[in-house]
Amino acid sequence: MVLKEKYNTYKEIYKDYIILIKCGSFYLSLNDDAIVMNRLFNYKIKETTNLIKVGFPITSLSKIEKALENKHINYLIVNDDNIQKYKYKNNSYSKYSFRLDNYDIFVNRINKIYEVLKANLGNSNLKTVLNEIEELLCKINY
């Protein structure tokens, strides 16, 4: 089964869990879960067509598990077809989740900010530049 299909299959069943899938010597999280992992651990998000992901080495798994446990976030570890499920009474997954459609909106906002900053790179009046950025952000509906 392809990684994305495997993730989607488990995510349909375990909606409020972070899905960690072993892939070689790494564990990967995709899409919405990748955003959660980025927010929790500041892992770099990698984007490909219709897929975003974060990964960490298998040697870091115990550190990740401990942090997820401390934050009471449900998670699922997938090793081939063997799964380990960790469920907490007061699951706080939704506190950290961030819908993927919102992610696209914020990436667009950041790109617009970058364009304004780049256009005003030589402008010594920072207050004017920041006001222009604020005006631009107000025009974006989210």
pLDDT in tens, 27-72: 999 998 998 998 899 898 898 878 889 999 999 999 999 999 999 9
Q: Are 103 and 35 in contact (CB under 8 A)?
A: yes
Lowest mean pLDDT among 16-30, 50-64, 114-128: 114-128
Our measurement of the distance from residue 43's CA atom to the centroid of its chain's CA atoms, rounded to an integer in Å, reads 8
Within 13 Å and on the Cβ side, how many CA atoms surround 55?
15
pTM: 0.69
- Domain 3-96: CATH superfamily, name plus number: DNA repair protein MutS, domain I (3.40.1170.10)
Structure tokens that stand for 43 in this block: 């892992």
